[in-house]
Each structure stands twice: as C-alpha cells, then as structure tokens.
C-alpha cells in the first residue's frame, strides 16, 4: 500500500511526530511505500536542523532525515507554516524541502491512504 503522512505537531511537544515516525518505519518494514510526508502547522519544527535535544532523548529531526535518505522518502515542509515559525531553507535539515500545500493535495491524490498525526 502507498501511504501519505501528514504531521501537524512538533517533535518535542506532542507524541504525534514520534508516532508518525514509528508508523513509517513499521510500514516500510512490511513492504509498504511512503509516498510523501508533509509537515504542517507546528509539524514544520521537525525539519529544524538547529534543534538540539538532550543526548538521552530521541532526535526526531535526525531520525526523519535518515529515514528519508535511506528510503528515498519525500519530506515536505509547508512554506507558509515554516516562515511563520522562522524556519527558512538555510536551517532545514538534509532530506527535507520547503514547498506549498499543493504537495499535500498531491500526496492525498497519489497515496492510497493519507494518515494524519496530530491536530
């Protein structure tokens, strides 16, 4: 099955991003495809390479980046939501790209299921 994933929450204030990451890993392990992961609202904070969690905490920004590069997953950050939060191209971690809501619409069309994490 081909999945699209929408993440609306940041990596450190809500469990949505962690749940989405674990869902993506499990789906890939079962042979499914992740068409695109779209980060919206506070979810855009998942792309901020300046985040520096404690050493004993998971680093979701790096985990998403690595998953993207290992599995050729398109990680798209909503441009409007990113700019509202001070996230510009210069501070976006490798594997992420900034684009518009059209990428979310396309993911909804191309994927067999669009799974939403967070409000």
Domain ranges, ordered by start, for the chain: 2-117
pTM score:
0.95
The CATH-assigned architecture of domain 2-117 is 3-Layer(aba) Sandwich (3.40)
> For the residues of 77-110, what is the DSSP string, one character each?
EEHHHHHHTT--GGGBPTTEEEE-THHHHHHHHH
The catalytic residue among 44, 47, 76, 78 is: 78
Cα angle for residues 79, 72, 77 (degrees, 5° grid): 10
**Range 4-19 average pLDDT:** 94
Task: Give the integer Cα–Cα distance in Å for 102 and 100.
Answer: 5
16-35 tens-digit pLDDT: 999 999 999 999 999 999 99
68 a catalytic residue: no
Q: Are 43 and 11 in contact (CB under 8 A)?
A: no
Q: How many CB atoms lie within 10 A of CB 57?
A: 10
12-16, 28-32, 78-82: which has the minimum mean pLDDT? 12-16
């Amino acid at each position: 099955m081909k999945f699209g994933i929408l993440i609306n929450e940041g990596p450190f204030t809500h469990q949505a991003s962690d749940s989405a990451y674990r869902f993506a890993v499990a789906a890939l392990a079962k042979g499914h495809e992740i068409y695109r992961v779209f980060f919206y609202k506070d979810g855009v904070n998942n792309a901020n390479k300046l985040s520096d969690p404690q050493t004993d905490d998971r680093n979701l920004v790096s985990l998403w980046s690595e998953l993207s590069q290992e599995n050729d997953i398109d990680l798209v950050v909503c441009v409007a939501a990113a700019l509202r939060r001070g996230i510009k191209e210069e501070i976006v971690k490798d594997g992420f790209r900034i684009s518009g809501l059209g990428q979310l619409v396309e993911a909804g069309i191309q994927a067999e299921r669009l799974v939403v994490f967070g409000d």
